[in-house]
A = this chain, B = another copy of it.
Amino acid sequence: MKLEKPYLIFVGDAHDELAAKTSFGVVDWCPDDCVGQFRLPGCAADMKLPDLSMEEAHQRGVRTVVIGVANRGGVIPDSWIKPLAEALRKGLSIANGLHTPLDSIPEIAEAAKTSSGQLIEIRKPVGIDHIATGKPRGGHRLLTVGTDCSVGKMYTALALTKEMQQRGMDADFRATGQTGIFIEGAGVPVDAVIADFISGSVEKLCPAADSEHWDVIEGQGSLHHPSFAGVSLGLLHGAQPDVLVLCHEPTRTNMRGLPDRPIPDIVEAMEMNLEAASIVQPNVKFVGMSVNTKHVQNSERESLLKSMEDRYQLPCEDPFLTGGKSIVNQLN
């Protein structure tokens, strides 16, 4: 899966900023690839990008409209149809990460037929392909894993990749979710892969490489999350990581979407990941912890990170704020 840049970010009629989470992720991590935004009346989110019509986007060289807003109930609202069909008529591609495929809407499907642009369905089930072998392969691989879903595994992988590249290391970010794919312009939507091929799709995403090369792989879910742990384990085996970074949100009390289920103990989460990963990489180890301090008061951040470092004997950092230097230091 490969997307053409630059992008127009379709924020649509996002009813709040959370609904536009994907838009913010793309703008945060590839601002130079985002030429403008498209917003409908009533849109409650603002990317601080120029508001462009499809015609203006076309004139400014946009190649792909990225749908960066989550809709309610998986339905594409009527108000989106006209501008998206217009984008196709202007020759733009549309990248859609929603579960509803765009070609299920007749007016959009019709416009796509004669367009030089493409409908790219990020979440379209990925079918029969490579069966994982688990065979040892060259190159280094870092995987971000989590105590829960949505704790910052993608942001961590992106921040670490950036830090590594700034140091002149040969490093690539490998996207496994829709926002990551929009940012990188390529990747595998692991949650949409047919079950038998989860690990295989990740083996293909980060194949054997030179001995100095690093793939920094975006993790998904958590081995402790009973809704999605199968995805997390398949990804872990396919990634064959030599190093892991644990991502954790210290203010969260229960696992995402499961009010009765507490967040797992950090040591237990690390042990379970090491045990599972050691099947494909016996020397796997943790090199640090990425602590998402978004909801921690500024005055408490430093002492929290210090106390976690003392307790777990690993660099603990919020890479989104400070770049992950202490973690990357461990890779030499």
Binding site for B on A (CB under 8 A): 74, 99, 125, 127-128, 131-135, 190-196, 198-200, 223-224, 226-235, 237, 257-258, 260-261, 272, 275-276, 279-280
Contact = CB atoms under 8 A, between A and B. Distances in A.
A200 B257 CA distance: 14
Within the oligomer, what is the number of copies of this chain?
2
A192 B325 CA distance: 41
In this complex, the member of A190, A226, A260, A275 whose beta carbon has the largest number of chain B beta carbons within 10 angstroms is A226
Given A192-B194, A227-B199, A131 B257 contact: yes
Nearest to A132: B227
Nearest to A275: B272
A200 B227 contact: yes
28 contacts: A74-B128, A99-B128, A125-B125, A125-B194, A131-B257, A132-B227, A132-B228, A133-B226, A135-B258, A190-B195, A191-B194, A191-B195, A194-B194, A194-B195, A195-B195, A195-B230, A196-B227, A198-B230, A198-B231, A199-B230, A223-B276, A226-B237, A226-B279, A229-B279, A230-B230, A230-B233, A230-B237, A233-B233
Contacts of A230: 195, 198-199, 230-235, 237
